[in-house]
Amino acid sequence: MQFLCNTTSRTPIYRQLIDQVRFAVARGKLHPGDRLPSVRQLSRDIVVNPNTVARAYAELEREGMLITKPGRGTFIAEPQIDLTKKARRKQLAEKLDELLVEAVHLGFTDAEVQAMLQDRIKLFAFETKGGDSQ
């Protein structure tokens, strides 16, 4: 995976790195078990302070997205679903409400939002398994 950082962005570089890893996993470009570059290597590659990369990796590890194996490296973790389906649905509904409020303020119709959502869904790697717990 190629990491990029925009130094002119208002988004802090560590946050840009976090977002890139999260997007790559969601889009199926990174998978559980995939190894990420070391903190030193990535900081050299994108020319940022190693503490910036370490901060991003630490945050992703707290989120459960990464796992560090001492002496072996940092890897994409297996997904952990700790919340019930009801709690996860509530969280998603809140995020969708935020998105829909923004769409209304931008002047989109419901049909335009639905069409755009269908187009965007194709870019992501959704689970195809059934049988979530309640």
pLDDT given for residue 129 in this prediction: 56
Could you say which residues of the chain have pLDDT below 70?
128-134
What does pTM read for this prediction?
0.75
Six token digits for residue 16: 């840009």
Domains, the chain, in order of start with CATH, read 13-76 (1.10.10.10), 81-134 (no CATH)
- Predicted pLDDT at 130: 52
Report the sign of the C-alpha dihedral through residues 70, 32, 28, 110, in that order: negative
* pLDDT value of residue 133: 46
Partnered with residue 36 across adjacent β-strands are 74
Structure confidence at residue 87 (pLDDT): 87
pLDDT in tens, 20-31: 999 999 999 999
